[in-house]
Structure formats: C-alpha cells, structure tokens
C-alpha cells in the first residue's frame, strides 16, 4: 500500500483572543482589592503610567499640560454624579441618564500615534489625613488578631508556678482547641509527662490540680473536658447571690441530657420545678457560653469594599461606581513626549511598547468600570422591589436576563458579578445575591427563591416557641399564600439559613 502526500486548503472560523482582550477579561473578574494590587503593579512596572500625585515639579506640570492639550480626556464615569445611571419610575419606563452601549470585545490593535484617552480617572484623589492620625491608627489596623493560645499564654506568664507545674500547664494548653475545650484525656497528658520526670515521677493528682487552677482562666469555661463541665465552671464563677444559681447547677449536673433533648415535661417532673421557675433557670443557663474560646479566638476580619453604590434621590434609584475603588492613573506625558515616530532605536521601541501597554491598560480599566456600572444598573432596575420593601419582594433573576439586557455573553455577566459588591440602604450585598431561581405560584406567576427564604424566616421568627412550626406546616402556610413549595424544599431553604428543625427550636420561653 502506497501513501501519497497531498495538500488541502480548508476555510474555517476560529476565535483568537488577543493579549489585550485577555487582559480586559482578567481585569473584569478581579475583586476590588485584587484590582488595586494589579494597578499598583502596573504603576511599578510601566514607566508610562503615573498618578496625578506623581507631578511634584512645576516643569513636570507644564510638560503635562502641553501634551494633554492634544489628547482627549476620558469621561469620568466613577467620579461624578452625572455619570451615574438612574431612571424615572414613570409610566414611560426607565429614563436612563446614560445609555452608551459597551462593546463585548476590544480591538486587537492600537496605533501608537492615535488620539487616545490617555487619562483614566476612576476616582478623585483621597483626602489627605493628618500624619498623627495615621500613626495612631497604624497599630490597630495592622496588628494581628489575638488568638486563644496567646490569651492563655499571657495569663500563664502572670501566674506564679514552679517549673514542674508550669511544664504541666504548657502540656494542658497544647491540648486546648479553638473552642476552649481540652481535647486529650488527662491520663494521656499525664503519661506524656512521665518521661520528663523520671527522677521524681509525676502523679495524676498533680495534673488534676494544675488543670483546676487553669480552669479559673479567662474566658470562663476554658479547659473544660465536656459541655457539662464547661457550663458548671461558668456557674461556679458567678456570684453566690445570683438568682436560680443552685437550680441551674442541679439541671446541668443531673438533667443535661433532658435539657439537650428539650424534654421539658420530664425535666419539670424530675427537677420538681414549676414551669415559671424552670423558665428562669433556663434563662440563666442560656446566658452561658458553650464555646468560650470563640470569644477570644477570632479570625481576621474580611474587609469588603463595595464596587457600586446605590442610593435614592428624588424618588429615583441612582447607581454609581464607588469613587474609591481605584486610584487615578494616566499616561506620563513627559515620557510620552520623548517618543520619536521615525526612530527605531532600542530605547525608542521600548518607550513605544510601554506606551502601547499603558494605553491598553487604561482602556481595559475603563471598559471594566463601564461594564460593571451597566450590569449593576440593570440589576437595580430589576430589583427595585427589594430596595423599596425588602427580601420578600425580590424577583427571580438569572444571568441570561441581564446578558440580554446589556447585550453581552452570560460568561461576561458571571465575571462581573463575582466578588463584586453593591452598597445599598439595606446593606452591602454581592452582585450574585440578586440572582435566584423561581417557584411557580397559583396565579401563574413566579416567586424568587430568595423571597421564599425570607418568608420562611419571617414565619419561624413569629412562631410560638412552645409549638414551633414543622417544615410541612410552613409549606402549607406558603401554599395558602399561593406559593407551591414542597416540604423538602422548605427543609433545604431552612438548612441553608442555618435554622435548626422544629424539635430543636422548642423553647419554654
């Protein structure tokens, strides 16, 4: 069999993503904090980029003014109220203040000598603060959060102990978890210390004695071996004249299982307390902390900077970009003026390439903010009921709805709404929060799953503590309002909101 080589010519279509388009997409999906870091890296690596604060000399200002006179300044979409999108809630529908279509892609080439928007001003310069204020707040903002181990170690250093007892204390501290509980049996801790005390063998009673001393540390209840001991430690540290203290000790010592199962009938009979007395005892018990370590060992807070701000002005909802999400950047006019069009030297080529990248970076930032503003505006337009009346009036919304409204791909909408936050009069929400599936109603309409969760939460908040609502009962009550929801759906929504089932919500008070 003979194989013959041949050439074939085929025509086809394929999508090629230019580096500039890849950069625009990458910037689009960055969170605000990541974007600020990306901008700073660009400022550090590209000499053609600068912030207005970099102009320190009169000569630089003169050169900048001469060069900028030949350039077209970008519309400041984030800094002025005129750039914010708003609408009039009238019969004629939305009255958009700005409705410029944003292309879903960016051209793949840009001549160096084109007239371009060389200034990107996404935010006014932040107001300068007094140096003393910055110094005094530096330690608070930059010091790491104190852990439970740090807190216990600090107290141990202030406690007079001999070397033998201090070694025991350190071993006990190593066995404490983030909740404040002792996770290893005391016998195991004792066995681990025997090798260190061969000359004078350590007794178990010595470990018990040090443990009891450490159980007086703050927070109350720390170094407990189980929940019962944790609660008793806290009760024992209360003043003796505390009302219902002895009865609370009785319940925790002998009937904690009945209390955990909320078997109040058995608890009343065995403790010989009346219902109103037991109610007061339970009030005291519920004031205790079953996880004492949580009061000290807190994770670093997650800071959220809203990307867009929504406010109502003259009965109209206005959407505008947060003026502090990114610094003002622009092309360095002094360096740009050094480029010679006919010069092909290495230095001139380097400056030309850096200018090209600077302009594309500015364009990508502008495109990101315009896209973000456009998407956020459509979301707010669709969810005015939520802004006016709350979660129960949230409408069903999916990515394709916004994609069609702004004439972009769903993947673009997904990038825009991920890790982007909106500040509203009702709080700060991720843009993804406003998207939800729907459930049919008896009238043929649709109800948002977010609205249904809000209704479930409202019904549970208003239930009788002695007879909490079951999932089936909640489903039936929603059905009376025309919303078709199965019991398992109610259970799924309830669990998503971290609400326990009805048997765990039962209370005497």
Asked if 141 and 300 touch (Cβ cutoff 8 Å), the reply is no
Q: What's the structural domain count of the chain?
A: 3
User: Could you tell me if residue 248 is inside a domain?
Assistant: yes
Identify the CATH number of the domain in which residue 476 sits. Answer: 1.10.10.60
User: Could you tell me if residue 327 is inside a domain?
Assistant: yes
Task: Based on the fold, state whether residues 312 and 419 are members of the same structural domain.
Answer: yes
Which of 404, 428, 452 delimits the end of a domain?
428
Which of 389, 409, 428 delimits the end of a domain?
428
User: Would the pTM count as exceeding 0.85?
Assistant: no
Which own/partner pairs from 146-152 qualify as long-range (CB within 8 Å, at least 24 positions apart)? Answer: 146/296, 147/296, 147/297, 148/176, 148/178, 148/180, 148/222, 148/293, 148/296, 148/297, 149/173, 149/176, 149/297, 151/218, 151/219, 151/296, 151/297, 152/176, 152/214, 152/217, 152/222
Q: Mind listing the pLDDT tens digit for each residue in 159-179?
A: 899 988 999 999 999 999 999
Task: Based on the fold, state whether residues 380 and 455 are members of the same structural domain.
Answer: no
Q: Mind listing the pLDDT tens digit for each residue in 410-468?
A: 888 888 888 899 999 999 999 999 988 777 676 666 788 888 899 999 999 998 888 89
Mean pLDDT of the chain: 79
User: Could you tell me if residue 7 is inside a domain?
Assistant: no
Task: Based on the fold, state whether residues 35 and 80 are members of the same structural domain.
Answer: yes
Asked if 58 and 366 touch (Cβ cutoff 8 Å), the reply is no
User: Could you tell me if residue 477 is inside a domain?
Assistant: yes
Q: Which residues contact 210 (CB under 8 A, 6 or more apart)?
A: 161, 165, 168, 169, 172
User: Could you tell me if residue 495 is inside a domain?
Assistant: yes
Task: Based on the fold, state whether residues 350 and 480 are members of the same structural domain.
Answer: no
Task: Based on the fold, state whether residues 62 and 154 are members of the same structural domain.
Answer: no
Task: Based on the fold, state whether residues 264 and 311 are members of the same structural domain.
Answer: no
User: Could you tell me if residue 64 is inside a domain?
Assistant: yes
Task: Based on the fold, state whether residues 159 and 62 are members of the same structural domain.
Answer: no
Domain interval for residue 479? 436-505
Task: Based on the fold, state whether residues 266 and 212 are members of the same structural domain.
Answer: yes
Task: Based on the fold, state whether residues 259 and 361 are members of the same structural domain.
Answer: no
Asked if 395 and 52 touch (Cβ cutoff 8 Å), the reply is no
Task: Based on the fold, state whether residues 330 and 275 are members of the same structural domain.
Answer: no
Task: Based on the fold, state whether residues 181 and 249 are members of the same structural domain.
Answer: yes
Q: pLDDT by residue for the chain (509 residues), tens digit each?
A: 556 676 767 666 555 556 777 777 888 888 888 888 889 999 999 999 998 876 554 444 444 444 443 333 333 333 333 334 444 444 344 433 333 333 444 444 444 443 444 444 444 444 444 544 444 444 444 555 678 999 999 999 988 999 889 999 999 999 999 999 999 999 999 888 876 656 677 889 999 999 999 999 999 999 999 999 999 999 999 999 999 999 999 999 999 999 988 888 899 999 999 999 999 999 999 999 999 998 886 656 677 889 999 999 888 999 999 888 777 889 988 888 888 877 888 888 898 899 999 999 999 988 888 999 999 999 999 999 999 998 888 898 888 899 999 988 888 888 888 889 999 999 999 999 998 877 767 666 678 888 889 999 999 999 888 889 999 999 999 988 888 888 998 999 899 898 988 888 887 65
Scored b (16 or more CB within 10 A) or e, 353-374 reads ebbbbbbbbbbbbbbbbbbbbb
Which of 295, 324, 346 delimits the end of a domain?
295
């Amino acid at each position: 069999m003979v194989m013959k080589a041949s050439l074939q010519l085929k025509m086809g279509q394929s999508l090629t993503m230019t580096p500039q388009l890849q950069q625009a997409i990458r910037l689009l999906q960055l969170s605000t904090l990541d974007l600020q870091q990306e901008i700073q890296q660009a400022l550090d690596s590209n000499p053609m980029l600068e912030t207005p604060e970099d102009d320190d000399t009169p000569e630089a200002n003169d050169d900048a003014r001469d060069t900028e006179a030949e350039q077209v300044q970008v519309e400041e979409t984030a800094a002025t109220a005129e750039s914010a999108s708003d609408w009039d809630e009238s019969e004629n529908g939305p009255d958009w203040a700005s409705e410029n279509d944003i292309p879903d892609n960016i051209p793949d080439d840009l001549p160096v000598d084109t007239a371009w928007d060389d200034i990107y001003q996404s935010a006014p310069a932040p107001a300068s603060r007094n140096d003393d204020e910055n110094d005094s707040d530096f330690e608070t903002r930059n010091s790491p959060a104190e852990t439970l181990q740090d807190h216990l170690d600090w107290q141990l250093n202030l406690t007079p102990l001999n070397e033998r007892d201090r070694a025991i204390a350190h071993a006990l501290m190593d066995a404490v978890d983030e909740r404040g509980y002792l996770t290893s049996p005391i016998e195991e801790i004792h066995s681990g210390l025997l090798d260190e005390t061969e000359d004078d063998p350590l007794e178990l009673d010595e470990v018990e004695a040090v443990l009891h001393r450490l159980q007086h540390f703050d927070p109350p209840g720390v170094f407990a071996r189980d929940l019962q001991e944790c609660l008793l430690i806290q009760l024992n540290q209360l003043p003796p004249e505390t009302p219902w203290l002895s009865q609370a000790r009785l319940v925790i010592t002998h009937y904690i299982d009945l209390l955990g199962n909320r078997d109040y009938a058995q608890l009343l009979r065995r403790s010989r307390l009346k219902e109103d007395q037991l109610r007061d005892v339970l009030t005291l018990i519920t004031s205790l902390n079953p996880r004492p370590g949580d009061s000290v060992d807190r994770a670093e807070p997650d800071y959220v900077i809203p990307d867009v701000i929504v406010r109502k002005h003259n009965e109209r909802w206005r959407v505008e970009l947060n003026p502090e999400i990114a610094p003002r950047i622009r092309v360095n006019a002094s360096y740009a003026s050094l480029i010679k069009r006919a010069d092909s030297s290495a230095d001139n080529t380097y400056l030309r390439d850096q200018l090209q990248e600077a302009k594309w970076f500015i364009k990508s930032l502008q495109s990101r903010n315009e896209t973000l503003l456009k998407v956020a505006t459509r979301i707010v337009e669709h969810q005015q009921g939520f802004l006016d009346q709350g979660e129960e009036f949230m409408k069903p919304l999916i990515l394709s709805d916004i994609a069609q409204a702004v004439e972009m791909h769903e993947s673009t909408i997904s990038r825009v709404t991920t890790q982007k936050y909106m500040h509203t009069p009702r709080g700060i929400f991720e843009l993804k929060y406003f998207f939800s599936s729907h459930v049919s109603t008896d009238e043929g309409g649709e109800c948002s799953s977010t609205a249904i969760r809000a209704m479930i939460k409202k019904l549970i908040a208003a239930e009788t503590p002695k007879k909490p609502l079951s999932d089936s009962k909640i489903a039936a009550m929603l059905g009376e309002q025309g919303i078709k929801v199965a019991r398992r759906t109610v259970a799924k929504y309830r669990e998503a909101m971290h609400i326990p089932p009805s048997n765990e919500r039962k209370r005497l008070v």
